A and B are shown apart, each in its own frame.
Chain A
């Protein structure tokens, strides 16, 4: 291999600084959440304790953290399942190049770039005028889909643009119906990408703030609850909560990666051995 140019080392240092910039703050609050009971919002550490994590479990201290966590978790699952199903269907639809597909595509992109507060305000106003109560699982759910579906569809576009159509043709030639072709050929091939869509669906919903602000109603989701805390909580308990939810996010991301890794390993093992004996 040819030797590394000088620029490599400069760029490596830049990249390392960028990673530090990305992760430094969150690691810092991770450390600070272990402040002693008398500790403040910044260094120095005033002893080490898990005092602030215990505080989280006391209802009066911080409000309804666990209720809002469960709402966010359930909402995340609802949005995840819906995003996967609707994105796959729409991804398949766009392969048919139907009349008006261009307009629908631009509408989806518009959904991505329209300021979140407009969705929040608009959905809130509709429910208001119809005399319906805003509620996280109805208005909040719909508002979040306008953020997750475009990501899902863009991923499906990327997947189907690289999809080898000859697999489907082969299946059809052997007499498979459209549904059989989808269920036994297309779906298994695109499965890892669907895990990716699911990851986007769940995490984007779990962390969504602006679109849920006016559409969640009287029961807050977790990001709304955390934002409420920033205005009236001035102790490291907010760092403890930040650390816990970030750990939860990392856990979710890790699980998704493990699933994808598991699928591809199983595939490599079960893959064809054609040509192996030849060399």
Chain B
């Protein structure tokens, strides 16, 4: 076959130019096609992170930053009790949000995958769940104000129902509001990958479980959940990293009363203390990558697409 092509290209010069690219090594073709992606990621992902790492060793005056190689920023960061409180708080948000989004996301995905029988309905209801993802997060946060305010819908409804006598103060601008907003914004990131995993489960496995006398719960626990593990892991990675890196939801929904690592960084940026912000960012990055490295041990993402 190759020999034949050689002969052909030798006798027709025009054919040679046409056939030439096919003999180009797949490595060259691959890198050529991937070069735009590589260049963009190098310039706007790798380079910024290198810059942050470098600047985290720099010094700062009140108005400017200057190159140096000192560990002051890290020393200050690790000696301050605020750092530990804030990191602990960040983990707390991540853990609670993870549990809530997982429970809600799994239930919703289960309903869509196993209880909706027509494919068209499945697609329609799935899209209904995903549409908010394509709208603005900030507006979705703002839209909780009329519900959670002191005289908001939530308090009014609870008072009218006779459950409480006075308005609850902790609805808006509290940890409750922060987590509510996280769950509202990010449950979708659980629903999509878990739904994807569930749709790949061979339905005859469920029948087999039932024929062998498994109850509904046993089937769920021993068949469905183990087969959904990759989806659950991907959703978990999304939710945990989004919550850990967030700074705006916490600031807005807590009314600036609670802090997480992202807010620590953005406060330093506001004060133009870039080296200190960079040091915190480096520690945050290491924490997030560590968490992901642990989670990635449970799943091969490329297989799941």
Chain A positions near chain B (C-beta within 8 angstroms): 1, 4-5, 7-8, 11-12, 14-15, 18-19, 21-26, 28-29, 32, 41-43, 85-87, 89-90, 92-94, 96-101, 104-105, 107-111, 113-119, 121-123, 125-126, 129, 142-143, 145-146, 149, 153-154, 157-158, 161, 177-178, 199-200, 203-204, 206-207, 209-210, 213-214, 223, 226-227, 230, 238-239, 242, 245-246, 249-250, 252-253, 257
Contact = CB atoms under 8 A, between A and B. Distances in A.
B30 A101 contact: yes
A101 B212 CA distance: 45
Contacts of B131: 250, 253
Contact of A97 (B26, B144, B292): B26
B87 interface: no
A25 B183 CA distance: 13
B30 A43 contact: no
Interface residues of B, number: 86
Given A113-B288, A121-B48, A146-B44, 6 more contacts: A18-B104, A42-B151, A108-B37, A114-B241, A117-B281, A226-B138
Contact of B30 (A14, A98, A158): A98
Contacts of A207: 134-138
Interface string B86-114: 00000000000000000010011011100
A130 B1 CA distance: 55
Contact of B36 (A26, A89, A109, A161): A89
B134 A125 contact: no
Nearest to B17: A177
Contact of B142 (A29, A126, A158): A29
B305 A158 contact: yes
Interface stretch (B69-77, B201-209, B225-233, B245-253): B245-253
Nearest to A86: B36
Max chain B Cβ within 10 angstroms of own Cβ: one of A21, A42, A119: A42
A41 B146 contact: yes
Nearest to B112: A15
A7 B52 CA distance: 52
A210 B278 CA distance: 16
Max chain A Cβ within 10 angstroms of own Cβ: one of B40, B137, B184, B247: B40
A63 B277 CA distance: 30
Contact of B138 (A89, A98, A153, A227): A227
Contacts, number: 258
Contacts of A7: 115, 216
Contact of A90 (B36, B142, B277, B281): B36
Contact of B45 (A28, A111, A121, A230): A111
Contacts of B30: 93-94, 96-99, 101
Given A18-B104, A25-B143, A143-B44, A115 B135 contact: no
A25 B149 CA distance: 13
A106 to B, nearest CB: 9
Interface string B233-263: 0000110010011111000100000000010
20 contacts: A8-B115, A28-B143, A29-B139, A42-B145, A42-B151, A87-B37, A108-B41, A111-B41, A114-B241, A114-B285, A115-B241, A117-B247, A119-B44, A121-B269, A121-B281, A145-B40, A154-B305, A157-B302, A227-B248, A230-B252
B33 A119 contact: no
Contacts of A238: 142
